[in-house]
Chain A
Amino acid sequence: MSVIEIENLTQDYQIGFWRKRNVRALDSLNLRVEAGEVFGFLGPNGAGKTTTFKILMRMLRPTAGEARILGQPLDDLRMRARIGYLPERPYFYHYLTAREFLVFCGALCDLPRDRAAKRAADLLDQVGLSDSADKHLRKFSKGMLQRAGLAQALINDPEVLFLDEPMSGLDPLGRREARELIANLRARGKTIFFSSHILTDVEAMCDRVAILNRGRLVESGRLSEILKTRSNEIEAVVSGVNEEILAELREFALEVQPTPEGARARLESDRDIARLLEVIHHANGRLVSVNPARESLEDFFMREIGGMK
């Protein structure tokens, strides 16, 4: 079952004061996110990611097209009670304490006060803010606000979670905790639709991704389908080699990247493995690993988006 259905979603903005003209921020976006998926929404700045989130969260009315969440139109309030959202630059009422803020969010989701208070305490613990629960949000750092934002998105125990740049502002520990939280939510069958600039996080967490550029969908699908193996290419990691050997490797390898222990060599096919072995054996080097070459999400991103810029 598709939990998020986006059909031909288009958003135009008017810019200019005297001579107004239209700028297309989103161009006929089609997307489906299935139940239980962790779906990554990628693209450079200005690609249309936040515009898509804003349409889904009723901040913008689309110029054309439509979207449904949990099979319901975007204005359906019963559906709203089943989703959670973390905005890209979260601003929360600074005069409230973290606990008061979460209880307030619970009230907006129709939670009875005592249940909201219990849920708030649990969530503050989950996101590592229980020590700061009664501190005013104005005293929170960016990372702490991001954690509070994650907690408010979860206050109603949503089935679908929309996270716009959830790792933004988090330190490495916070990022790891957020990744664990997302993995935990996924294990509980939640659907997560999130955007991120941090490709390694996306690669580590997502079942499927969609890549957007200048408002258009560039690619969408499973990471294993998008990040195809590079035909017959082989990636070999070697250690204990010197500059002379690296020069020899460069004679037949497609690419050689020195590493602290040795080098990473990309070969055209497995036919070159024998020659590689011969070269490193001659230098008393060591073969560490041989794998079919597979591009990273970053490689793919740079190839697809970098070429268009």
Chain B
Amino acid sequence: MKIIPIALNTFRESARDRALYNLMVFVILLIIASVVMGRIAVGQEVKIVIDLGLSAMTVFGVLMSIFLGIGLVSKEIENGAIANILSKPVRRTEFILGKYFGLCLTLFVSSVVMAAAITGALIYAQGGSDAAQWRLWPAAWLIFLELTIMTAVALLFSCFSSPALSALFALLIFLIGRWSPDLKLFAETSNSAAVRAVSRALYHLLPNLANFNYINETAHGEVAPWRMIAGNTVYAVCYIAAALAAAALIFNRRNFK
């Protein structure tokens, strides 16, 4: 099983990347700033800190999953490191899975750090511990799931496309995925049968990322129901499995000139 050493090595790569720390510092500063902004809007501290904090976590995480995700495979091909890996007793599928889980581990650690920073900001803003500080964690879990889906999508594109195009496709998929309820509505209300068919196909094919966005509700005091979390977790696992299977299939057939 070579997935674990490859995953740990991928995690080590991001853990030693200064750019990642700079981005995380930026997000944490943003969270601290949200405390100050919360002070200005009296009575809205908790809402502003959660809203701004989780949104910053999403934006940072999505950028990280897309831009690090497309580099997982393409960078290895470009710099020739793939030659060393494939000469060893490693299946190409193990390589893909190892790289994927390595980045997921990085995303998990950074998500935990950011969620902890938001919790810390809330404790500071409220002057003590409160149940509201813990209801952001289910929402943070949903964000993490969304990031793992985007990483799988970025990895899939990078198996057959250039890094620039992969980034573009992955960003488009993120945006369409976030608007998937509108896509469904469009599929139901369009007068053209062809448009309806294409919209319906896209709705089913692309990830339904809107389901993973529970930031607004959390900011307004709701806690993500466990059934929703379980359902979304199963959906994410299935979608990721399909995307990784496709990525492995393409990667297994590729030639590296």
Q: Which residues of A contact B (CB under 8 A)?
A: 13, 54, 57-61, 77-78, 80-81, 83-85, 87, 89-93, 95-96, 100, 104-105, 107-110, 152, 162
Contacts and interface: CB of A to CB of B under 8 A. Distances in A.
B80 to A, nearest CB: 4
Contacts of A93: 9, 13, 81
A77 B16 contact: no
Given A81-B89, A95-B16, A107 B257 contact: no
Contacts of A104: 5, 9
B83 interface: yes
B256 A59 contact: yes
B86 A59 contact: yes
Contacts of A13: 257
B248 to A, nearest CB: 15
Given A59-B256, A104-B9, A152 B2 contact: no
A10 B78 CA distance: 24
Nearest to B4: A107
B82 interface: yes
Contacts of B168: none
A134 to B, nearest CB: 14
Nearest to A108: B88
A54 to B, nearest CB: 7
Nearest to B90: A108
A39 B193 CA distance: 67
B194 to A, nearest CB: 30
A89 B82 CA distance: 12
Given A96-B12, A104-B9, 9 more contacts: A13-B257, A54-B83, A54-B256, A59-B86, A61-B253, A61-B255, A87-B84, A91-B81, A95-B12
Contacts of B257: 13, 54, 60
A91 B76 CA distance: 9
Interface in B58-96: 79-91
A81 B87 CA distance: 9
Interface string B4-48: 011001001100110000000000000000000000000000000
The secondary structure that dominates the B interface is: helix
B88 A59 contact: no
B84 to A, nearest CB: 6
Contact of B86 (A57, A78, A92): A57
Contacts of B86: 57-59
Contacts of A87: 80, 83-84, 87
Question: Which range contains the number of B residues in contact with the other chain?
Answer: 20 to 34
B80 A89 contact: yes
Nearest to A61: B255
A209 B256 CA distance: 27
Contact of A108 (B2, B12, B13): B2
B136 to A, nearest CB: 33
Contact of B84 (A78, A81, A92, A110): A92
Nearest to B77: A59
- Give the interface centre of B79, B82, B84, B255 by most chain A CB atoms within 10 Å: B84
Given A58-B86, A60-B255, A108-B88, A91 B80 contact: yes
B88 A105 contact: yes
Contacts of B9: 93, 96, 104
A152 B84 contact: yes
A166 B90 CA distance: 23
Contacts of A108: 2, 5-6, 85, 88-90
Contacts of B80: 87, 89-91
Contacts of A60: 255-257
Given A61-B255, A89-B80, A91-B79, A80 B2 contact: no
A90 B256 contact: no
A135 to B, nearest CB: 14
Nearest to B5: A107
A202 B59 CA distance: 57
Nearest to B15: A95
Nearest to B85: A108
A95 B85 CA distance: 16
